[in-house]
Structure 1
């Protein structure tokens, strides 16, 4: 045979050979992506269970039973959701939740009952996705998934409590339909792109913990107002005296703010609403002093630390605004510009709020009356 001689200085090119190291790296990357997909589906189902457990199981079971989706080998453990008995039970419970979720206060009562049920259901779904490789791993998965479900459940329950303060039912209906749509959309996203679903979930959890203090304060305030409304006296117009002493936990806060050493005219316990430089849903007290009729001081504790704000009443209008759960004291400027404040009292404290409004209106008009009297006396011969 005739062979072509190699030229001097020119090496013969050889086809690239994939090393075993490259193959192992690709296998590890593929395995990591597969595990992330499993984790995304497990935590995603847990989060959706916190919103609506029965709809999550019902729709997943229907999709598996009627082969709307094809389960990958790593998800074969979810095939049990396609069992007709599981689909039937989940469907009946979702039918009940569909109507309970749209009735004010019934939805919150339903959420209270499911505070334990949803985290357990979310943990079981996640364990079913990841399998049972070891008892320790099963416990870790149950804790992570149960915590994820509890976060979603808490966010939903807080939103429902906030919407229930309005007597009309349309906000509850729209929220319920929106939650159902979120569950269906989340299931579809997990099917087509589990990693994107995991990213959205992590962002949502981070946002929850960022707003957690506000969410928990709002829940505490709404539950407190509902409890006071249910257990309040039948006659809300019984005359009461304005309280003149502060709670022991708030007395040091007022002393710290009271630089001039003014004396307390009255101190009414309340919850803060919206207001300039005053966070909402702080449990505290409104304090009026005998020396200055143009100011009030709101004292409270925020995350255990003293909190106090002085409210200038000059040029303001004070009104009483009854609401479904509360009696609101509203302070707003007489003109177009100026800060507006809202302070919330329990529903049975109608007479107390009316007395506060009357007291403040009288104090605010006293200087004007004195000026008029002085002008008359100066103009008289």
Structure 2
């Protein structure tokens, strides 16, 4: 309970929120976090101060552009999505750990892996299922629009994570709730013809 204070709670919420955004896009929240670190809006832990360097900012900016464009190509988005899954979890770990600066290293790493990586992984998996639903319903034609929405959510969500983390957390809850409802109506819905008929 020693570290359960307002500062650490807010840091935790910011970290989880940024990690969630990494589930949509890996490099967009890294780019926005890098800008935030460089501008002094938030401060990273000592070992991750390089995230706010000019070099890191340029690399994240270029990577974010290429990542966003890759997801807009229908035949490439699913393949890239599979490759992005482990990277999203790693990005979530880094982002979550980076802002928990008033906690001991063991707690930073533990929360980064479990909470940050776990949240990013859950968001990425849910988003991937929604993309499959989009492919199923539109034959892949709606995927570029879906990709734009993901990038927009990742960008706006990252800003909310930094300045209004509680709002972002509420948005995350709504995302999971809405995603479950959509998936229940599409992918998870069982067709009547799939149910065996045992009547004579």
- Are positions 1:152 and 2:61 aligned together? no
* 1:47–1:149 Cα contact (<8 Å) kept: yes
Could you tell me which runs of 5 or more consecutive residues in structure 1 were left unpaired when the two chains were aligned: 1-27, 219-278, 287-297, 300-307, 311-381
Q: Does 1:280 align with 2:189?
A: yes
Q: CA RMSD in A?
A: 3.2
Q: Which residue of 1 aligns with 2:41?
A: 71
Specify whether residues 168 and 117 from structure 1 end up closer, same or farther in structure 2 by C-alpha distance, changes over 3 A only.
closer
Q: Which whole-Å CA distance do the structure 1 matches of 2:168 and 2:36 have between them?
A: 19
**Local SS of the residue matching 2:5:** helix
Offset at residue 211 of structure 1 (A): 5.2
Work out the CA distance in 2 between the residues paired with 1:160 and 1:175. 7
Q: Which residue does 2:50 correspond to in 1? A: 80
Mapping 1:179-194, distance limit 5 Å = 179-194=150-165
Q: Following the alignment from structure 2 to structure 1, what is the Cα–Cα distance between the partners of residues 121 and 8? A: 23
Q: After superposition, where does 1:1-381 map in structure 2 within 5 Å?
A: 32-65=5-38, 67=39, 70-72=40-42, 75-77=43-45, 79-131=49-101, 133-135=104-106, 138-165=109-136, 166-167=138-139, 169=141, 171-205=142-176, 207=177, 214=184, 218=187, 280-281=189-190, 298-299=195-196
Contact 1:107–1:160, Cα closer than 8 Å, also in 2:
no
Q: TM-score, normalised by structure 2?
A: 0.79
Residue pair 1:46, 1:125 contacting (<8 A) in 2 also: yes
Distance 1:98 1:122, change over 3 A: same
Q: Distance in 1 between matches of 2:169 and 2:149?
A: 20
CA distance in structure 2 between the aligned counterparts of 1:116 and 1:199, rounded to whole angstroms: 25
Looking at CA atoms only, which structure, 1 or 2, has the larger radius of gyration? 1
What does residue 305 of structure 1 align with? none
After TM superposition, the score normalised by the length of structure 1 is: 0.44
Q: What secondary structure, in the 3-state scheme, does the structure 2 residue paired with 1:130 have?
A: coil
